[in-house]
Amino acid sequence: MLNSHTPHTAAQEVAALVIAQSLLAQMRLEVAEMGTTEVLRISFGKTLKIVRSLWLILAAGEGIMSKKQTTALTQEMLKFLSKTILPPRRQRSCPRKVRQPLSSWRRLTKNSDASGSSEYKITPVQA
């Protein structure tokens, strides 16, 4: 659900969401490269929580923290995030398939097609 009321502000809101998503993806990639793990093992939810906290601290510390301190804090956050990787995924026990909808009607498993000549007879209707 978008909170905007005009098409222009809706476009701005969607653009902000796309930028935020790409920033989080970049953070996950950096953490994966630091820990030499797969990107899929870095949790999106955990990354979002930690990055939100980092942004809050950096916003509150603006003017107080130097550029060197900001960079060091960001690097420590990335190291912390690399320690919270997810366990490896288990292998599938069954191949992935499309689920068939359940219905009270019997499913047609074989198509039946009658080919050949057909016969019909017209009978008069008595009134």
pLDDT digits over 55-67, tens only?
999 999 989 999 9
For residue 99, CA distances in Å to 18, 52, 96, 107, 108 come to 32, 38, 9, 14, 16
7-35 and 44-60 helices cross at what angle (nearest 10)?
A: 110
CB contact at 8 A, 53 and 15: no
Contacts of 93 (CB under 8 A, 6+ apart): none
The SS3 of residue 70 is helix
Cα separation of 46 and 84, whole Å?
Answer: 8
Reported as a pLDDT band with limits 50, 70 and 90, residue 97 is confident
Sequence-ordered alpha helix ranges (H) in 6-43: 7-35
What is the C-alpha to C-alpha distance for residues 23 and 55, in angstroms, rounded to an integer?
Answer: 12
Q: What is the pLDDT of residues 24-69, one digit of tens each?
A: 999 999 999 887 888 989 999 999 999 999 999 999 998 999 999 9
Question: pTM for the full model?
Answer: 0.62
d(CA 73, CA 40): 24
